[in-house]
Structure 1
Amino acid sequence: MCAQVLMDGPNALSRSLSLYPCLLALSHMSVPHPRSTRLPYLVHMPLLVVFEPHTTQRTALDGDAPSVSLFFFLLRVGVCCLHRKALVSHLRWCTGSVFNRHRQASFQFPLTAVRTHAHTLPPKRHLWLIMSLSVRIRTPKTSTPVQVELNSSGTWGEAATLLSQKSGIALERLRVLAGFPPKAVELSASSPLSALMLRVNDMLIVQEGEARVLLGNTGQRYVPPAPEKAHFTRRRCPADNSCLFHACAYVLHDKSRTEGPQIRQECVKAVLDHPEMFNRNTLGMDPVAYAMWLSGKDSWGGAIELEILSFLYQTEIFALDLQSVSLQHFGTGMGYTVRAFLVYTGNHYDCIAMNPVYNSPSEHEDQTLFNSRDENVLARAKRFVAEEGQKVKEGRSA
């Protein structure tokens, strides 16, 4: 239409006025642009030149304001249509009134750039997805690692449940090692899995043993009641003046036979770090002097060290006398959920554990930690110690 007006001359402008209402409605139809957030610069033209029919002389529309305004109006419609085809937003370009009585041009001179209103896109919305984390697990029943998909945004309790299903190990007996060197995972069930800082294809070692899955919000370990068919057995420790530390390493460090010296040094450090708790009245001497004495490899440990270890590991420690079956307990009344058992003869400490097989020499199946509320286990431990004491009296056991 614009081209026709230009070719037919100014007389055609009057014929186009009848289309003004329709064109006006068309020009005000805005088209949203889904991509662009900013419209380009618009440049106002300083002069409109048309060609008279049958001549090549250029004529300037410099005085007929309605004609000039209508031309720009038609040009505006054409631009809008082109932008509509290109999915560009409606150009808010005001060209002036067609019926401008003062014959003022609708453009500026010299050229100026006018910035149009920028349409603002709606804010970005994050789409939360369940992201899976592929890791490898090694179980006692598989010779090669098994690939498992964990929910990286889930909790440790959810991951432990899945590992229990994949390995065939009951959740209450599930023990998971992660990292390098591998260390037992001790997280509450509500802790995020991201706390382990796992990466793709990391190895998790799944074992069956003492429970390391923490349940609830207390941060305490949960150990299920001991099975009725399991049997207590005595695990002997070296008589090298460090028997108490060897026995505690076995029950507190997952049946370790080598970490007795480390347990001793932990006691030394606790004395120095907590002088208000382990003071002269408790130790019988200055804490620094006691720490120096205890650090010697020939120094015996006793009730004080058991109290310290109970505090450090938040575990009740029960020591049973083989001869009198008398009981010394440490850490009771502190809310600890886990309990361990030692036996002593007056000058030597051993530990006792529960095994599925009677008198089994296989230590890797031992359970060394028990639920502190399981009074049945305590009664069974007392019966076992009484039987062991009787064997010692009869010379059937050392």
Structure 2
Amino acid sequence: MELRIRDKNSKIHTITTLNEQASFKELKEEISKLTGVLLPYQELKIGYPPRICKAKNEDTLASAGLLNGDIIILTEISSTEVVKGTPTISAPAPAPAHALHTPTVPSTASKSSSKDVISIPTENGFFILREMPDDNSCLFRAIGYVLDRSTDTVQHLRQIVIDHIRKNPDHFSDVVLGKPREEYCSWIARKDSWGGAIELSIFASHYKVEICSVDVRSGRIDRFGQGQYDQCVFVIYSGIHYDAIALTPILDAGQEYDQTIFNITDDVTLKAVSAVANKMKQLHKYTYTADFTLKCGQCGHGLKGEKEAVQHAQSTGHTKFVEYE
């Protein structure tokens, strides 16, 4: 089988020496030979939208879900993220007094080293990136973090979207949604359906707050509810993923001290958040999907870019995509 590895510099490496019954460890060893990234520091993303592969070293490539022609995105993680040789994702933990609702703190939350977080210092503290899991619900988790101070309200937030669409049929026609209204509601209710501009506009209206989505690659800020409210929150969009922005007094402070809601007229906050996005761009912490050549893993239909993938998912219910060249 042929597998292609995209490294952090977007260089493509090709592996043709393995078959479907080769182990995941053998794959990582081949990647190490090609890129110089040692096994414990490899984070591999597969599929579309790209998701972290959770395969164990002894698993076969077939059982890991890898197919001939797949492209694998390689990220080199820091030593503090390595536990027993396996990359882990730092799960956000919430909870300050200023939140709109009573906060909940996930018991699985872990803290990242202050050396590894992406942050910008200001007179009031550090504007910091709070990373969300790669699970197709990152937008909902990011919104839950900045507005409900919980990343565990995904299904509740999906239901808010459904209820809002049903109550406002004139604003959310089949044309706007890209499919019949009830089909869209059924689709967005599924845990593997990702959200976007429609959902952000609904959350702005529901919570009566402006939501600013900052695009890492372009630096563009999309404002939902612009000019309607006195407060705002920020999420960071890195091409296929959403994360949250918070203000912490010191980098090693617990996330219960995070501030996530800001005054709409605060230019210092806006500049600091833009600086966080720019820092992510410099570190190449984004994946630009507009030019990705994709194939639906369920019907084989060829697609180009995230937009066509979203349209295909909405019209067919298919959610498994693979990148190919």
What's the TM-score once normalised by structure 1's chain length? 0.41
Greater gyration radius: 1
- Which structure has the highest strand share of the two? 2
